[in-house]
Structure 1
Amino acid sequence: MTSDANTKLAFHHTFGVNSIRNHITLILGMDNDQYPLRVALFTNHTKSNRVLHHIIKPKGAAPKPHSTDDEKELWETLDGMVLQWIYSTVSNDLLETIVETDTTAMATSDRLADIFQDNKNSRAVTLEQEFSHIDMTDFSSVSTYCEPLKSLADQLKNVGSPVSNSRLVLQMVSGLTDAYRGVGTIIRRAIPVLRFIV
C-alpha cells in the first residue's frame, strides 16, 4: 500500500468511531416504529463521517470506479465499517433477517428500507386500533394516560398516517374517566378555538 493510501486510512473520520452505540443508542427492532428516527440518526452519522455514499447513491452521478487497488481497499474497509454500524444498531431478530455474506452497506440499508416500507400499512392499521381504544382507566394518572396517546400519534405520523392535534385532543377527552368529565366538557368546547391556536 502506498504511503498516500496509508495516510488516507490513518486519518479517515470513520476510524475515529470506537462504538456506534455511543452515537446512536436506538436499537431498531421488527416490532417498533422508530425506523424514520433511526434513518435520520444513521444518515446524519454517516454524513458527519463522510461515508454517506455507502448507504445512499449520490444523485445524478454514476459511482466512480476505483483507480487503484489502494482505493478499492479503502472503499471496502469503510464499507465494512458502515455495515458493522448497521448490524450494531438493529435487534437480533432483525439482524437474522438482514445479514448476508458478501454484501454491501448500501444493499443492507436497502433491505432494511424494504422491510419497513412493506410493513407500513399493516403497522398503521394496528397503531390506529390501539390509538382509538386507549382509555384512562388503564393508567394511574392523567400524565401516564397522555404519554402513550402522544407516542401512538407520533408512531402513526412515522408510518404516514398523521393524527391532527384536534383529533389527538378529542381522543384524549373521550378516554377520560368520570372524575374528569367537567374538564372534558370544557376542552370539547375549546377545540374549535384550539384548532386555530395550535
Structure 2
Amino acid sequence: MTNDTVPPPKSGLHPVFTVSNIQHKIRVLDGTKVTYALWVRLFKLHARGYKVLSHIDGTPAPATTDDSYESCDDLLPRVLEDESTARQAWVRVENIFNNNKGARAAALEQEFNALRLANMPSLEAYCQRLRELAGMLKDVDAPVTDRRLVIQLVRGLPGEYDTVASYINQTLPNFETARSMLELEVHRKSGREDTATALAAPTVTPLIFSVI
C-alpha cells in the first residue's frame, strides 16, 4: 500500500481515524521548498480522500440538532490542538501566507533577479532555487512565466557557459529543456577536464637494474 492510498475504513469508522501521522502523506509547509499553493493542493486532495474537506472549504457546520453534528464535533479534538474549528485554523494559515503580499513579492523578486550560479553550490541547486522562488512568487500573485524563468536561468550563468547560454537565448526552450542542456554542458566540461588531467600526468620512467 502506498502513502497516497486511502485505506478502506472499518465498518462505522470514519476514514480520518485511520491516519496515524499526516506528515507521512503531506510534507511540512515551510514556504520555501514546499510552497503554500502546492501544500494547499496536496492537503485538499487528502482531505477529500478522507472525507473531511467540508471542515475547511467553507461548508457551513451542521446544526446542533443534526444527526451528524455529534460525529463532526468529536472529530475536531483529534485534528486540532486549540479551541477553534478546522475552518478557522485553515483561514489563519491562509492569512499568514496572503498578508503583506506586496512586500513579500518585492523581496522575492529581488532575490530572483539577483540569483547567480556562482553563489550556489551546484547547477542543480541553482535551478532548484529558481523553481522555488518562482513558486513562492506565484503564491503572492506575482507569477513567473516559463519564458522569464529561462531568461533568468541564463542571466545568472558565468562566462564559461556563454556558448550554450547564447543558444538557449536564441531558441528559448522550456525551462526543463534548458536545464538539461546546461547539465549536458557540465558533463562535457567535466569529461574534458578529466582527459586533460590524465594527459598532463607525469610519465614515470621505469628503473632498470643490471645484475653483474
In the superposition, the TM-score normalised over structure 2's length comes to 0.67
Q: Which residue of 1 aligns with 2:118?
A: 137
Report the AA paired with residue 75 of structure 1.
Answer: C
* Number of residues of Structure 1 aligned to a counterpart in Structure 2: 166
Q: Which residue of 2 aligns with 1:79?
A: 76
Q: Which residue of 1 aligns with 2:23?
A: 21
Q: Which residue of 2 aligns with 1:57?
A: 58
Q: Percent identity of the aligned residues?
A: 34
Q: How does 1:89-168 map to 2 (within 5 A)?
A: 101-168=82-149
Q: Which residue of 1 aligns with 2:3?
A: none
Give the Cα separation in 2 of the matches to 1:64 and 1:72: 6
RCO (CA 8 Å, sep 6+): is it higher in 1 or 2?
A: 1
More helix as a share of residues: 1
1:156–1:162 CA contact under 8 A, matched in 2:
yes
Structure 1 stretches of 5 or more lacking a match? 1-7, 85-100
Aligned pair in 2 of structure 1 residues 109, 163: CA closer, same or farther (>3 Å)?
A: same
Give the Cα separation in 1 of the matches to 2:32 and 2:135: 15
Report the AA paired with residue 70 of structure 2.
Answer: E
Q: Which residue of 1 aligns with 2:38?
A: 37
Query: Which of 155, 176, 181 in structure 1 is aligned with 2:162?
Result: 181
Structure 2 stretches of 5 or more lacking a match? 1-9, 178-212
Kindly report the root-mean-square deviation, in angstroms, between the aligned alpha carbons of the 2 structures. 2.7
1:13–1:50 CA contact under 8 A, matched in 2:
yes
Paired residue secondary structure (1:109): helix
Give the Cα separation in 2 of the matches to 1:32 and 1:121: 21
Q: CA deviation at 1:33?
A: 6.4
Q: Which residue of 2 aligns with 1:5?
A: none
- Higher alpha-carbon Rg: 2
In the superposition, the TM-score normalised over structure 1's length comes to 0.71
Q: CA deviation at 1:30?
A: 6.8
